[in-house]
Amino acid sequence: MKKKDFNSSKVTEVKKGSCLCGAVKYEVHGPLFDVLHCHCRNCRKQNGHFSASTGCKKNDLKILGEENLAWYNSVKDVTKGVKRGFCSVCGSVLVWNPEDGDDLWFSAGSLDDVSGIKVRGHIWTSEKGDYYEISDGLPQYERDPDDPSL
């Protein structure tokens, strides 16, 4: 395969997303992670319900309109040094960025068009709200099984 053909391959297709008002846009130049629903108290407070997050390598995310992205130091998160990014114009929840590691997570609902990803499971079910049931049959974890600090 010639290098030139590489751009048309589906694997390298750039994924795009944005907030509700469009002041913050982003591009992902790499693979997306399958979606996790996080039921922790902090995600529920911020999202109004449990969160639906996909993710990517920190280096693969290019944010456009970064001046409109506000950051909240989410000190109550068990994971160390988490910053939660949201649009300062329309309030859309966008990024969950822990201090350690190469990965970050962002709202799956902010993706434009076809994403090719699917929901992988539920984390922090130990803190889920009592007003709903999880009934999709996907794996459930009481905490975050991927977090090495837990």
Rg of the chain on CA atoms, in Å? 16
Q: Does 89 bind Zn ion (CB under 5 A)?
A: yes
Q: Does 87 bind Zn ion (CB under 5 A)?
A: yes
Q: Does 108 bind Zn ion (CB under 5 A)?
A: no
State the sign of the Cα–Cα–Cα–Cα dihedral 71, 104, 19, 53: negative
Q: Does 38 bind Zn ion (CB under 5 A)?
A: yes
Residue 102, classified by CB atoms within 10 Å of its CB into exposed (0-12), middle (13-18) or buried (19+), is exposed
Closest alpha carbon to 143 in 71, 55, 64, 79: 79
Binding-site member from 14, 30, 81, 90 for Zn ion (CB under 5 A): 90
Q: Does 23 bind Zn ion (CB under 5 A)?
A: yes
Q: Does 28 bind Zn ion (CB under 5 A)?
A: no
Question: Closest distance between Zn ion and the C-beta of residue 123, in Å?
Answer: 7
| Structure token digits, residue 69 | 């992205």
**Interface residues with Zn ion (CB under 5 A)?**
19, 21, 23, 38, 40, 43, 87, 89-90
